[in-house]
Amino acid sequence: MSSFPISLPPNLDAIVQKFKKRSDPKKRYEQLLWYAKRLESMSEKNKTPENKVQGCVSQVYIAAYLEDGKVWYRGDSDAQLVKGLVSFLIEGLNGLAPTEILQISPDFIEETGLKVSLTPSRANGFYNIFQLMKKKALELQRETSV
């Protein structure tokens, strides 16, 4: 692993910057709820054990597929704030190549300032959602290199 930070993909960086500008935790929550409203619905058939995020208090699902060498995610949660976190990550990561996703360090989660706004279990859930998205990108990458 290199010692210099890898710059974030443009979409993810733009979202991180939006959250960094909001010092008021209430404003960060409002931003998350705004993202939650933007999340496209996920079909029930994708709500499988393989797509379930482990270690989350709420029900969270992430599905991924590859199209033209790019990863596209779908997700859902039964909790609005968590749905906002899912939407944030989907918007930030959709359309990237698996290798690009695999290079992203979860450090950006700290940068958003959300960790102080979220309960420890939600902050941990945010990390777990991101890790599952990386795992899915890796699986898709492996499938294409076989």
Q: Is the dihedral of CA 96, 108, 42, 53 positive or negative?
A: positive
Q: Write the CA distances from 145 to 39, 62, 69, 93, 99, integer angstroms.
A: 31, 22, 11, 21, 12
State how far Cα 19 lies from the chain centre: 14
Q: Is the dihedral of CA 49, 88, 119, 29 positive or negative?
A: negative
Query: How far, in Å, CA of 129 to CA of 117, rounded?
Result: 17
Supply the residues annotated as catalytic: 56
User: Could you tell me if 104 and 8 are in contact, meaning their C-beta atoms sit under 8 angstroms apart?
Assistant: yes
Q: How would you classify the pairing of strands 70-77 and 60-67?
A: antiparallel
